[in-house]
Structure 1
Amino acid sequence: MRDSAPLLRLTAISKSFPGVRALDGVDLTVGAGEVVALIGENGAGKSTLMKILNGIYQPDGGEIALDGAPVSFPTPHAALSRGVSMVHQEPKLCLALSVTENVLIGRLPKGRFGAIDWRQAHERTRELLSRVGMRVEPTTPTERLSIAERQQLQIAKALASDSRLIVLDEPTASLTPVEVDVLFGIVRDLQAGGVSFIYISHHLEEIFRIAQSVSVLKDGRKVADRRVSETTKEELLSLMVGRDIGNRFPAKGRRPGAPALEVRNLTGRGFRNVSFRVHKGEVVGIAGLVGAGRTELARAIFGADPVKGGEILVDGKPAAIRNPADAIRLGVAYIAEDRRDGLFMPLPVRENITVVAPEAIATNGVIRERTQKSIALDYIKRLNIRTPSGEQQIRFLSGGNQQKCILARWIIKGVQTIIFDEPTRGIDVGAKTEIYRLIDQLASEGKAVILISSELPEILGMSDRVLVMERGRLSGEVDGHEATEENLLALALPTNTPSHELQP
């Protein structure tokens, strides 16, 4: 496909932010009907490059050409008008609007007298949703959708614009294997019709399934172009990381202590009659398919969603957790699957790290700025957070480093139980290894860790025990040394339990 004139050519693209050179003379070429994978560690410059292509950022230097002619995209709308769209890793949707309004925003059909033709709009939306494997009513408020469903909705929205080039930024991060297959089927169908894709993913096995070529970025520079048929996973890992990451998971040798957290017959929105305990010095994994109720359970334990029945115990004593403030006071923390839920993007790293521990940095309500800076710098070093300084706005950090900032705040706070919900979603292989090391270190120091993940290798590699949820119920528990992908999937797959019984 590269023998024909390219649909897109990026030449010598450069971009700097305060204290960071994000891109340094990057080239990228995409042919018509081609899927080009773009890979690299977090912070390599992938998202910055794509935001330039989609008019979100403006380059400091370089050229964008479509069909051989130079173009500029001062806004995302300008890019969209030329057939370039982007499906973001973090869903960019208006949660207050319906599914139809999000999918067809700016393109809602109108009737004879200028009023919106909702019947036609809903029919068009159903058609697009079916193409991405979604079975929700078009009138459904978007805020009711899960992270996985919102990701699928973004893809449907891109399909609605008839784009010639679609950027998929970590599109499978929250999708089940079945949903991934559906997505890849959509990509292949569109590709056969001449649509091109830039595919960003940390799951290298996906690259070999869907892409024809792959470009590798490292530290803001392109270090390699390869035909997928002429490379290997090992070579790509070496090009991305530039070092041997060895065994990704720490050796298990932890000795659990007394129970730190226990739930008895807990019932809430999306789950029912769940009972388990997690001990100090232990990592308990929670596996299950998307929609099994794992996140809903975690949010209820943390007090973010109401509990409808059952009991929570902390250190063996009944705990009244009505809101997150109660949970934090009792030493329970929750790190959400969507990092943005826990970050203050306009604020610097220093303030994001220390925000939940005013007692450590303030006297009589007055922040001791020197102490705050000292504590933040200490944890930047301890957790190897890659940032020019504590004054850097956290929105400029990579996903892995943002995740470490959230973790730092809970360590400073001194919590005893930490619930990680998809802690490595959208994080590269090198940063994942660092997150695993930090989780192991927390457990080794006596913290109780609950690890929710859709990646079975992650669950298997990190957990002392694995709980499996299936449609809102706890379907089984497996010792970490005996857990396999097969026995976890057997417990996670739907049974014949009537679904209406799972709606408390």
Structure 2
Amino acid sequence: MNENQPLLKIIDVSKSFPGVRALDKVNMTLIAGEVHALVGENGAGKSTLVKIISGAYTPDEGSIDIEDRSFRSLNPYQARLSGIATVYQEQQLVPWLSVAENIFLGMEPRTRWGSIDFTAMKEEAEERIRSYGLSIQSTDIVAALSVAARQEVAILKVLARQAKVLLLDEPTASLTGSQVDFLFHLIHQLQQQGIGILYISHYLDEVLEISQRITVLRNGQCVGTFQKGDLTKETLIEKMAGHKLDFSAVIKKPVGGKVLELKEISCNNVLQNVNLSLHEEEILGILGGNDSGCHELIRLLAGLLPFSQGKMFLKGEPYSPSCIYDALEKGLFFIPENMRKEGLILPLSLAKNITLSNLKEILTQGMIHLKKEGDQAQSLVKALKIVTPSVKTEVQYLSGGNQRKVLFAKALFANAQIWLLEEPTQGVDVEARQEIHRLLFDIKSKQKSILLVSSDLEELITIADRIIILRRGQIVEEIADSSTTSPKELLQAMLGG
């Protein structure tokens, strides 16, 4: 295939939702063997465009050309037959099936009697795994794999369907440095086969490293398509935001007395004899790999997991939450990484999602006072700069960054004293990331405390006062002043190097 041959052309595509012009006459071309990045702030239209290309949404106008065929719109079946495949951030895999069964799900090889030929399926999967130099086994159960390995399975699954165009949606969001390097190696192999890759990411350093061309969306419109050599990170950010951003650092301040203390805490063979303290007006960063126990630790504090040994104290009093509501009553609010499954009720309005965290504030004689509900939500929308047509808009129609801000609004409405955060800026754009960081500094300045689990090393150094590093359920290092360390040193400590 000619490496300059257009695989995919988006021509004057527009799409509107109630109160929102998501895309406005967008044009883009993807050529064979190219990594083409699609970037923009949250709400710029990236997700809408990807869903149109993959057949999940129908455009209001415009057309989609795939090689020599033109479509007014696609459905998922047509997109798949045309060689378009999407690997979403939340992988579409069946966890209890093996790697081979996931790769060939729905297109299993058959024996002459019509039953599934498991031997042939295993051999074909192993051949594909070997050809890309992957470390997974065809018989591995997907649920037991790391996040990076599941990403590999998801890519093999779509490649088994003879994909010509691969849409990668935030592919490195949950990966560590070495895992990102391996993914990039795999992407280069796919390029050499003539596969065109549309790479959607908020990590601009990665975008500038892996892509050949970059298309920028802003407010549903195409700002332009640029050769990566013509852009710096700063100019790319300006094109996304439409103005220069202020990167001035926020000055950290000394912290107060202890508000939360853990002594010799163990949990389900995941955490072992953990001792830590969280102080008033402190952001405590927690860092660790996939099996470190970081996420179990924060869920234990939120009342989602029991601890089998040790003691916890909240402002000097014994603390042992029986459930997440118990933790909330005691002033601890949990904002999970997977906000759509664990943090939000997508079909409900923005206002109802916010006020669910503290219903008694909007009740009048036992009934929800709708005006009070709307007014309270509107004040938080304004304070957090949530982009929405109305507080009555269903949360499912907001961009990912604005959905995350709704969770922060819930915590503010609950008047939480301790915020428990998992990956708070995952999947948000540069400007939203800055807004969230400034919000966290503002929160802690109001005599509140934040425990932050993040895999973003720069984020931890920027906003955490202290950093605790977990490995295999144990604290292996504490960095008393995060400003004294570097991403390289953090990564070495996390990996045991």
Q: TM-score range by the shorter chain?
A: over 0.9
Which residue number in structure 2 is paired with residue 260 of structure 1?
A: 259
Shift of residue 444, structure 1, vs aligned partner: 0.5
Shift of residue 137, structure 1, vs aligned partner: 6.8
Contact 1:132 1:155 in 2 (8 A): no
Which residue number in structure 1 is paired with residue 191 of structure 2?
A: 191
Which residue number in structure 2 is paired with residue 501 of structure 1?
A: none
Shift of residue 34, structure 1, vs aligned partner: 1.1
Cα 1:241/1:293, change in 2 over 3 Å: same
**Structure 2: 5+ residue runs without aligned partners?**
none
- Distance in 2 (alpha carbons) for counterparts of 1:447 and 1:423: 17
> One-letter code of the match for 1:368?
H
Which residue number in structure 2 is paired with residue 300 of structure 1?
A: 300
- Distance in 1 (alpha carbons) for counterparts of 2:312 and 2:134: 37
Cα 1:125/1:414, change in 2 over 3 Å: farther
Which residue number in structure 2 is paired with residue 367 of structure 1?
A: 368
1:484 and 2:483 aligned: no
Cα 1:451/1:132, change in 2 over 3 Å: farther
Contact 2:63 2:70 in 1 (8 A): yes
Shift of residue 7, structure 1, vs aligned partner: 1.1
Contact 2:98 2:141 in 1 (8 A): yes
Which residue number in structure 2 is paired with residue 319 of structure 1?
A: 319
> One-letter code of the match for 1:259?
K
Shift of residue 310, structure 1, vs aligned partner: 2.1
- Distance in 2 (alpha carbons) for counterparts of 1:140 and 1:436: 38
Contact 1:73 1:79 in 2 (8 A): no
**Structure 1: 5+ residue runs without aligned partners?**
496-504
Which residue number in structure 2 is paired with residue 51 of structure 1?
A: 51
1:454 and 2:455 aligned: yes
- Distance in 1 (alpha carbons) for counterparts of 2:430 and 2:36: 20
> One-letter code of the match for 1:494?
G
Contact 2:125 2:138 in 1 (8 A): no
3-state secondary structure, aligned to 2:425: coil
Which residue number in structure 2 is paired with residue 216 of structure 1?
A: 216
> One-letter code of the match for 1:275?
N
- Distance in 2 (alpha carbons) for counterparts of 1:193 and 1:148: 22
Shift of residue 411, structure 1, vs aligned partner: 1.3
Residues 116-131 of structure 1 aligned to structure 2 (within 5 Å): 116-126=116-126, 131=132
Which residue number in structure 1 is paired with residue 310 of structure 2?
A: 310
Shift of residue 180, structure 1, vs aligned partner: 0.9
Shift of residue 113, structure 1, vs aligned partner: 2.2
CA RMSD of aligned residues (A): 2.2
Which residue number in structure 2 is paired with residue 204 of structure 1?
A: 204
How many residues of Structure 1 are paired with residues of Structure 2 in the alignment?
493
Which residue number in structure 1 is paired with residue 233 of structure 2?
A: 233
Cα 1:494/1:158, change in 2 over 3 Å: farther
Contact 1:34 1:195 in 2 (8 A): yes
Contact 1:256 1:279 in 2 (8 A): yes
Shift of residue 120, structure 1, vs aligned partner: 3.6
> One-letter code of the match for 2:408?
L
- Distance in 1 (alpha carbons) for counterparts of 2:369 and 2:95: 38
1:466 and 2:477 aligned: no
Residues 319-398 of structure 1 aligned to structure 2 (within 5 Å): 319-340=319-340, 341-398=342-399
- Distance in 1 (alpha carbons) for counterparts of 2:134 and 2:328: 39
Which residue number in structure 1 is paired with residue 108 of structure 2?
A: 108
Contact 1:128 1:159 in 2 (8 A): no
3-state secondary structure, aligned to 1:357: helix
- Distance in 1 (alpha carbons) for counterparts of 2:273 and 2:15: 52
- Distance in 2 (alpha carbons) for counterparts of 1:117 and 1:111: 5
- Distance in 2 (alpha carbons) for counterparts of 1:264 and 1:145: 31
Shift of residue 189, structure 1, vs aligned partner: 0.7
> One-letter code of the match for 1:70?
S
Contact 1:281 1:444 in 2 (8 A): yes
Contact 2:11 2:25 in 1 (8 A): yes
Residues 79-118 of structure 1 aligned to structure 2 (within 5 Å): 79-95=79-95, 97-118=97-118
Cα 1:239/1:383, change in 2 over 3 Å: same
> One-letter code of the match for 1:389?
S
